[in-house]
């Protein structure tokens, strides 16, 4: 999978940036390595389930420095811990613990959800160059390696109901200098073949609310082109607002 992003200055907020992104996650057959199309046999239940890949658009956030938060904002300044282990290395990390109302509550979707709360842990790490970060003539660092771990509930399409257990995502990746064109050909081919052409580039405008695997799946099973669970549709925003809580992938 991949996240495709662009960072743009926030109008009227000195030093503030918006990260405009979309993200894709494609589930593969562990034996063949091919992207799963259609149904998959769940090894935990023996049932066949229709696989729902990750098509989250948008997944946006705002990075606002201390002292520049908009009036009435409830969150503190954007901050990622930074470590300097030595030499030119810089390590950044973020540990995010999520718990909020499940877009697929048990009362309406007992086969899809284990709880009325969505709960997960997401652990991010980023490794890059101190010299490049501090060089004002460098528009973007040439190399960033990443690690992402998520512990979450079973995915809705797995139809695990209230069965106990967790999914573990343990992923590694890096910045691609040529962006979308650097992705493997079979990934680009699948995106094109499934008419998800917008995922070849990052969004141009900031919009909310963000999409998640859970909100996307609810739309898919009710009205594919309908609004999100809260009745809203992501709309461009021209004025700064408090950053949303980072959603699950």
Does the pLDDT value for residue 235 go beyond 70?
no
Q: Are 24 and 46 in contact (CB under 8 A)?
A: no
Containing H/E element for 188?
helix 185-193
Q: How many whole angstroms separate alpha carbon 192 and alpha carbon 195?
A: 5
pLDDT at residue 244 tops 50: no
Q: In the numeric block, which tokens belong to residue 231?
A: 């009745």
Helical spans, DSSP H, in 6-114:
none
Residue 16, pLDDT score:
84
* Distance in angstroms (rounded) separating the CA atoms of residues 170 and 28: 15
User: Nearest-CA neighbor of 221 among 113, 98, 59, 60?
Assistant: 113
- Asked whether residue 207 carries a pLDDT value surpassing 70, the answer given is yes
The structure tokens listed for 142 are: 């040439």
Q: Is 26 exposed, middle or buried (0-12, 13-18, 19+ CB in 10 A)?
A: middle
Per-residue pLDDT tens for 15-72?
888 999 999 999 999 999 999 999 999 999 999 999 999 999 999 998 887 666 655 5
Q: What is the pLDDT of residue 70?
A: 59
């Amino acid at each position: 999978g991949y996240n495709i992003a662009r960072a743009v200055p926030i109008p009227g907020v000195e030093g503030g940036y918006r990260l405009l992104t979309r993200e894709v996650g494609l589930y593969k057959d562990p034996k063949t390595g091919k992207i799963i199309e259609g149904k998959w046999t769940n090894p935990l239940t023996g049932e066949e389930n229709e696989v729902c890949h990750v098509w989250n658009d948008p997944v946006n956030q705002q990075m606002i420095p201390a002292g520049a938060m908009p009036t009435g904002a409830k969150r503190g300044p954007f901050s990622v811990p930074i470590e300097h282990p030595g030499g030119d290395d810089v390590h950044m990390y973020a540990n995010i613990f999520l718990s909020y109302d499940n877009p697929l509550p048990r009362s309406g979707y007992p086969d899809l959800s284990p709880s009325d709360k969505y709960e997960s842990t997401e652990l991010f790490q980023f490794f890059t160059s101190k010299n490049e970060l501090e060089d004002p003539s460098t528009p973007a660092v040439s190399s960033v390696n990443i690690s992402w771990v998520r512990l979450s509930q079973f995915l809705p399409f797995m139809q695990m109901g209230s069965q106990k257990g967790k999914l573990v995502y343990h992923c590694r990746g890096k910045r691609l200098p040529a962006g979308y064109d650097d992705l493997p050909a079979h990934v680009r081919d699948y995106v094109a073949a499934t008419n998800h052409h917008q995922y070849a580039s990052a969004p141009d405008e900031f919009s909310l609310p963000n999409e998640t695997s859970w909100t996307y799946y609810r739309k898919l099973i009710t009205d594919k082109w309908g609004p999100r669970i809260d009745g809203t549709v992501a709309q461009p925003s021209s004025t700064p607002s408090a950053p949303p809580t980072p959603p699950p992938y």
